[in-house]
Amino acid sequence: MDTFKTLEIKESVFENNNIQADLLRDELKQEKVFLLNLMSSPGSGKTTTLVRTIETLKDEMNIGIMEADIDSDVDAHTIAQTGTRVIQLHTGGMCHLDADMTRQGLSGLNIDKLDLAILENVGNLVCPAEFDTGASKNAMILSVPEGDDKPLKYPLMFSIVDVLLINKIDAIGFFDFDLEAVIHRARKLNPNITIIPISAKTGEGIGEWADWLRNQTRLWNQS
Amino acid sequence: MHELGVVIGVVNKVIQVAESNQLQSVDTIVLQIGQLSSMIPSYIQACYPAAVDGTMLEQTKLEIEILPANAMCKACHQVFNIIENRSQCPHCEGDDWGLLSGKEFIIKEIIAQ
């Protein structure tokens, strides 16, 4: 007769990722590298916004970019044309990055002498919000054509980010997009969120966004 | 396939526990999944055979317990399920509440020889 016994484990499956994320954040702090986790839907303009950001900041800080996609390296090619250090990560079907994959990406990027590393997460408003990557700060882009109802549909994403960029603001006249409603809905979920309307195409708002990054990088290296 | 990566994490953890406790075989893994966790129990079950394929857990059964999305109303202190009541207290219609459970994704226990 087989004898069975029950072993209590009581361990949260996300706990391991949270521990890895905290560990990575501590290491980045020691190395004085500010890591931004950038999230959004596909097609919101993450890569175009990154190119603008790099053009604005590349003379004052060393920047490295990690492009995470399920497949292809079109985004890495676009970024490489700016002369910035870039690495393409393939998630092999996974819809998000976790702290371990972020660590692998950073070691491939070689963070020596980097001031700012930006992780362009997989285009998705659901899963990336669930997994701490170990980033210093989290950012998301919502673009005008996606609609002003997104904070209602994807509340977790809006509640965990430090900064919300509202992109394609130059096209607001063509869409029924209520900017005030988005700001109200996002602040209800996340009272401390910073909201910056931008246009990666015309450059509107990019100055304010670059100031936010400069300021956050400075604070990260101080404390 | 958000679930597969997570289930592979579960399988690795259970194998680690089994090895450190010198278990010969594991009969059942019991998970607890909250109604608000991003994990869908039927998807977990569906990708589980792929996650255990070729491991010592190949013959192991998977059981899932669902934990309710319960909150306590800050006005009248009643406990209610926020999914069934669309985030509004059914007793006083208040919408200010504190979540008690529902976001968990826990390996509760393993039953083994």
Per-residue pLDDT of chain A (223 residues; tens, 9 = 90+): 467 888 888 888 887 788 999 999 999 999 999 999 999 999 999 999 999 999 999 999 999 999 988 777 888 889 889 889 999 988 777 788 889 889 999 998 888 889 999 999 998 998 889 889 999 999 999 999 999 999 999 999 999 999 999 999 999 999 999 999 999 999 999 999 999 999 999 999 999 999 999 999 999 998 7
On whether B47 is known to bind a ligand per the annotation, the reply is: no
Other CB atoms within 10 A of residue B70 CB: 19
Give the model confidence (pLDDT) of A179-219 as tens digits.
Answer: 999 999 999 999 999 999 999 999 999 999 999 999 999 99
| Range of the structural domain that residue A45 is part of | 18-218
Residue A12 domain-assigned (yes or no):
no
> Which residue in the block uniquely carries the two structure tokens 């053009």?
A55
CB contact under 8 A, A5 and B113: yes
> Nearest CB to A9: which of B5, B27, B110?
B110
CA A129, chain centre distance (Å): 10
Three-class DSSP category at A74? helix
Give the model confidence (pLDDT) of A27-50 as tens digits.
Answer: 999 999 999 999 999 999 999 999
Residue of B nearest to A9 (CA): B109
Other CB atoms within 10 A of residue B9 CB: 19
From chain A, pick out residues whose CB is under 8 angstroms from the CB of B27: 4
Other CB atoms within 10 A of residue A165 CB: 29
Domain tally, chain A: 1
Structural domain boundaries of chain B?
2-13+25-112
Confidence at B1, pLDDT banded by 50, 70, 90: low
Three-class DSSP category at A103? helix
Residue A38 domain-assigned (yes or no):
yes
A93 interface with B at CB cutoff 8 Å: yes
In chain B, residues 50-109 whose CB comes closer than 8 Å to chain A: 104-109
Work out the minimum CA distance from B29 to partner chain A, whole angstroms.
10
Residue of B nearest to A6 (CA): B111
Give CA–CA dist A172/A215, Å, rounded: 28
Residue A4 domain-assigned (yes or no):
no
From chain B, pick out residues whose CB is under 8 angstroms from the CB of A14: 105
Work out the minimum CA distance from A10 to partner chain B, whole angstroms.
4
Residue A11 domain-assigned (yes or no):
no
Residue A1 domain-assigned (yes or no):
no
Give the model confidence (pLDDT) of B36-84 as tens digits.
Answer: 887 889 999 999 999 999 999 999 999 999 999 999 999 999 999 999 9
Residue A146 domain-assigned (yes or no):
yes
**What order of strands is seen across the sheet that includes strand B97-99?**
B79-81, B70-73, B97-99
On whether B91 is known to bind a ligand per the annotation, the reply is: no
Residues facing residue B93 across a β-bridge: none
Identify the CATH assignment for B2-13+25-112 out of 3.30.2320.80, 3.30.950.10, 2.40.50.70, 3.30.420.40: 3.30.2320.80
Q: What is the CATH number of the domain that holds A160?
A: 3.40.50.300
